[in-house]
């Protein structure tokens, strides 16, 4: 007769119920008793479940988690666990200077310490605003205790005069309206604020919707969780069910390494193309994978994602917003469509103990205006192409957003339809760009290629979202609206500008961009996936020697201790922008 597998010993017992160390046990106990937990509870053998709280007054996008946590606690109690809620370092995408992405690794680092150093058997990760999702998943990956993510959900749709207004994207339109005298400043603020009518993360397909959707595609949230709008009652129920489920996950010893496998990442890459996800996704997913020890490279994004079609019609690329995505079926409906084309690794395990294929098999599209069936996509080939050359070892481009105007102007040579050459105009950081873009002395014309350097993880600590640059006013007046942009920084959400982003290594790390000069000829070949300065190798070597003699590419001084610490340890964008030494620490809870 076989014996049933025994439950794994709870790690919290080393604190609260350790016969080998009665003195410390008493000390641990008395301090958790002092707010009302009883000795009986703490020594009952019930799992202690952390609720990693990312909401606060400083993090309005995630603030609703303060409410949702009450229902998470109900669920944990109901299932026989003991909830302990604690704060995560706040990350507010639009409020944190100089950039919220500076703080992703800081929140990661502190959450690792909490999950490892306190008596927690499992954790509920409260995700939402852009960087909160990768920070939490990266920490859960490193410590590897049972973990489940709960999205805060998107805001309700914004509306103004009968039209949807999307968070982030409306600002550009509102500025034009103010410039044209259609609205005054008060009207401008009102219009912008209309896009954010409730609690929740941004209702457009920016980095927040992208990362919450991918957390579900990775299997780290209960099915259907990502898209439920924050104020909906279903969101409260999802919080309760998430609390129930994490307790079982502890008993089953279902850990992040069981869920976030290479198969799960390939699913997330394909879902990212189908939803029209952010160019920030490769940075974050590659970062999570590195903390798990899962093989994932920047090339996987082209190999597995580039030819996947765009199915989701959300602003800024499309028409609709978060509420519409939810009503149309959310992530399960998208996954189901990809399954029909054989593009999902259906056996990938998810936090509910079932596979992604099982979870999504019966998902239907409820509104084909918002989610298209696989055979009638909005666009073909919605993923990223990876370029390389003497300018950088890798950079990504979203070919699907390249405008017709751009194609006609740059990609119309019948002998060489996917390649173009131009004169480089180089800016050192966003301030330099803003100061000089309209300066006639730069002689920017329709054959110019704009470069932004000094905007990577070291140069602009955390990497700035500044690579999408507008053409100078005098060209805009002639109808030239988009010039190719290349840089070692990031780009916000999705954009129509033909940008080559996330160039690695960045100028500040000695990448080829540091050797470029305004006036150089540059050749981009989208078929050959190459991007090169057209100078000889010996000239390139001369320039490198000169750069090194000058002490390398100069970037602004550190403003805070963390900027200095991170600059000394951070990986490049293609390698996830992680803290390199942290990658050596994996599966901490397994000893």
Q: Which residues bind ligand FES (CB under 6 A)?
A: 61, 93-94, 129-130, 201-202, 206, 208
Piece in contact with Mg ion (CB under 5 A), picked from 182-190, 202-210, 315-323, 519-527: 202-210
* Nearest distance from C-beta of residue 399 to Mg ion, angstroms: 21
Piece in contact with Mg ion (CB under 5 A), picked from 184-192, 201-209, 326-334, 473-481: 201-209
* Nearest distance from C-beta of residue 493 to ligand FES, angstroms: 9
Nearer to Mg ion, 242 or 468 (CB): 468
Nearer to ligand FES, 206 or 229 (CB): 206
* Nearest distance from C-beta of residue 134 to ligand FES, angstroms: 13
* Nearest distance from C-beta of residue 25 to ligand FES, angstroms: 42
**Residue 427 CB contacts under 8 Å (≥ 6 apart), including other chains:** 433, 436, 437, 450, 451, 452, 453, 469
Do 287 and 134 meet the contact criterion of CB atoms below 8 Å apart? yes
Residues 426-485 that bind Mg ion (CB under 5 A): none
* Nearest distance from C-beta of residue 492 to Mg ion, angstroms: 5
Nearer to ligand FES, 52 or 402 (CB): 52
Give the pairing of strands 485-487 and 448-453. Answer: parallel
What are the structure tokens assigned to 321, written together?
């917003």
* Nearest distance from C-beta of residue 206 to ligand FES, angstroms: 6
> Considering the rule CB under 5 A, would residue 133 count as an interface residue with Mg ion?
no
Nearer to ligand FES, 54 or 400 (CB): 54
* Nearest distance from C-beta of residue 201 to ligand FES, angstroms: 4
Nearer to ligand FES, 258 or 465 (CB): 465
Piece in contact with Mg ion (CB under 5 A), picked from 143-151, 207-215, 429-437, 524-532: 207-215
Nearer to ligand FES, 61 or 141 (CB): 61
Q: Tokens 């997330």 appear where?
A: 268
* Nearest distance from C-beta of residue 262 to Mg ion, angstroms: 27
b/e per residue 180-191 (b: at least 16 CB within 10 A): eeebeeeebeeb
What are the structure tokens assigned to 318, written together?
């499309």
Nearer to Mg ion, 105 or 492 (CB): 492
* Nearest distance from C-beta of residue 314 to ligand FES, angstroms: 14
Q: Which of 261, 275, 274, 296 is nearest to 208 (CA)?
A: 275
What are the structure tokens assigned to 377, written together?
């996509």
- 244 vs 78, 133, 143, 351, CA distance in Å? 7, 21, 22, 12
Residue 374 interacting entry, from ligand FES, Mg ion, none, C-beta within 5 to 8 Å by type: none
Q: Which of 502, 540, 533, 282 is nearest to 389 (CA)?
A: 533
Nearer to ligand FES, 204 or 499 (CB): 204
Do 126 and 62 meet the contact criterion of CB atoms below 8 Å apart? yes
* Nearest distance from C-beta of residue 130 to Mg ion, angstroms: 5
What are the structure tokens assigned to 447, written together?
């054959």
Nearer to ligand FES, 206 or 219 (CB): 206
The span from the CA of 314 to the CA of 322, in Å, is: 8
Residue 428 interacting entry, from ligand FES, Mg ion, none, C-beta within 5 to 8 Å by type: none
The span from the CA of 513 to the CA of 140, in Å, is: 35
Residue 61 interacting entry, from Mg ion, ligand FES, none, C-beta within 5 to 8 Å by type: ligand FES
* Nearest distance from C-beta of residue 206 to Mg ion, angstroms: 6
Residues 137-156 that bind Mg ion (CB under 5 A): none
Q: Tokens 């490279």 appear where?
A: 297
Residue 492 interacting entry, from Mg ion, ligand FES, none, C-beta within 5 to 8 Å by type: Mg ion
Q: Tokens 């053998």 appear where?
A: 45
Instruction: Give yes or no for a cis peptide into 505 (omega within 30° of 0).
Output: yes
Q: Which of 352, 124, 121 is nearest to 250 (CA)?
A: 121
Total residues in contact with Mg ion, by rule CB under 5 A: 2
Nearer to Mg ion, 202 or 509 (CB): 202
> Considering the rule CB under 5 A, would residue 207 count as an interface residue with Mg ion?
yes
Q: Within a 10 A sphere around the Cβ of 477, how many other Cβ atoms?
A: 9
Nearer to ligand FES, 133 or 313 (CB): 133
Residue window 482-501: x/- pattern of binding to Mg ion, with contact defined by CB under 5 A: ----------x---------
- 125 vs 87, 111, 208, 498, CA distance in Å? 11, 10, 15, 35
The span from the CA of 357 to the CA of 347, in Å, is: 6
Edge to edge, what strands does the sheet with 530-533 contain? Answer: 385-387, 394-397, 499-504, 485-487, 448-453, 419-428, 521-525, 530-533
Q: Return residues touching Mg ion (CB under 5 A).
A: 207, 492
């Amino acid at each position: 007769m076989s014996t049933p597998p025994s439950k794994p010993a709870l790690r919290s017992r080393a604190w609260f119920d350790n016969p080998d160390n009665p003195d410390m046990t008493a000390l641990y106990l008395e301090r958790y008793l002092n707010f009302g937990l009883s000795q009986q509870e703490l020594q009952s053998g019930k799992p202690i479940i952390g609720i990693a709280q990312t909401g606060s007054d400083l993090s309005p996008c995630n603030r609703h988690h303060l409410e949702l946590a009450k229902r998470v606690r109900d669920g944990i109690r109901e299932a026989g666990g003991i909830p302990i809620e604690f704060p995560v370092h706040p990350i507010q995408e639009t409020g944190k200077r100089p950039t919220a992405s500076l703080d992703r690794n800081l929140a990661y680092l502190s959450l690792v310490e909490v999950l490892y150093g306190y008596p927690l058997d499992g954790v509920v990760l409260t995700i939402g605003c852009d960087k909160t999702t990768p920070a939490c998943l990266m920490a859960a990956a490193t410590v590897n205790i049972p973990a489940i993510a709960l999205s805060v959900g998107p805001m309700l749709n914004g509306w103004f005069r009968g039209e949807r207004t999307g968070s982030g994207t409306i600002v550009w339109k509102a500025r034009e309206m103010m410039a044209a005298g259609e609205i005054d400043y008060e009207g401008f603020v009102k219009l912008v604020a209309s896009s954010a009518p409730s609690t929740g993360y941004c209702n457009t397909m920016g980095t927040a919707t992208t990362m919450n959707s991918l957390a579900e595609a990775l299997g780290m949230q209960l099915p259907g969780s990502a898209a439920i709008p924050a104020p909906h009652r279903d969101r409260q129920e999802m919080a309760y069910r998430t609390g129930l489920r994490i307790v079982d996950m502890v008993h089953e010893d279902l850990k992040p390494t069981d869920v976030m496998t290479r198969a799960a990442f390939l699913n997330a890459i394909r879902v990212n193309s189908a939803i029209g996800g952010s160019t920030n996704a490769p940075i974050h997913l590659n970062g999570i994978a590195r903390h798990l020890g899962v093989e994932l490279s920047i090339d996987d994004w082209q190999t597995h994602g580039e030819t996947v079609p765009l199915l989701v019609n959300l602003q800024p690329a499309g028409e609709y917003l978060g509420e519409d995505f939810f009503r149309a079926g959310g992530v399960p409906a998208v996954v189901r469509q990809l399954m029909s084309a054989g593009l999902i690794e259906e056996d990938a395990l998810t936090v509910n103990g079932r596979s992604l294929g099982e979870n999504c098999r019966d998902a239907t599209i409820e509104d084909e205006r918002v989610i298209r069936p696989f055979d009638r996509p909005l666009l073909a080939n919605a993923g990223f192409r990876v370029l390389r050359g003497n300018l950088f070892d890798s950079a990504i481009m979203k070919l699907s957003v390249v405008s017709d105007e751009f194609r006609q102007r740059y990609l119309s040579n019948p002998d060489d339809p996917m390649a173009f050459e131009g004169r480089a105009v180089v800016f050192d950081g966003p301030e330099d760009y803003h100061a000089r873009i309209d300066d006639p002395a730069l002689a920017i014309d329709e054959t110019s290629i704009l470069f932004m350097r000094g905007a990577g993880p070291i140069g602009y600590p955390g990497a700035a979202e500044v690579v999408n640059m507008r053409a100078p006013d005098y060209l805009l007046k002639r109808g030239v609206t988009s010039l190719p942009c290349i840089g070692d920084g990031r780009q916000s959400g999705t954009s129509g500008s033909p940008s080559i982003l996330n160039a690695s290594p960045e100028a500040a790390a000695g990448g080829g961009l540091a050797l470029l000069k305004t006036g150089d000829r540059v050749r981009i070949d989208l078929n050959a996936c190459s991007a090169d300065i057209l100078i000889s190798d010996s000239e390139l070597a001369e320039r490198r020697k000169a750069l090194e003699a000058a002490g390398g590419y100069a970037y602004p001084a550190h403003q805070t201790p963390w900027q200095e610490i991170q600059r000394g340890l951070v990986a490049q964008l293609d390698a996830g922008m992680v803290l390199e030494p942290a990658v050596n620490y994996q599966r901490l809870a397994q000893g």
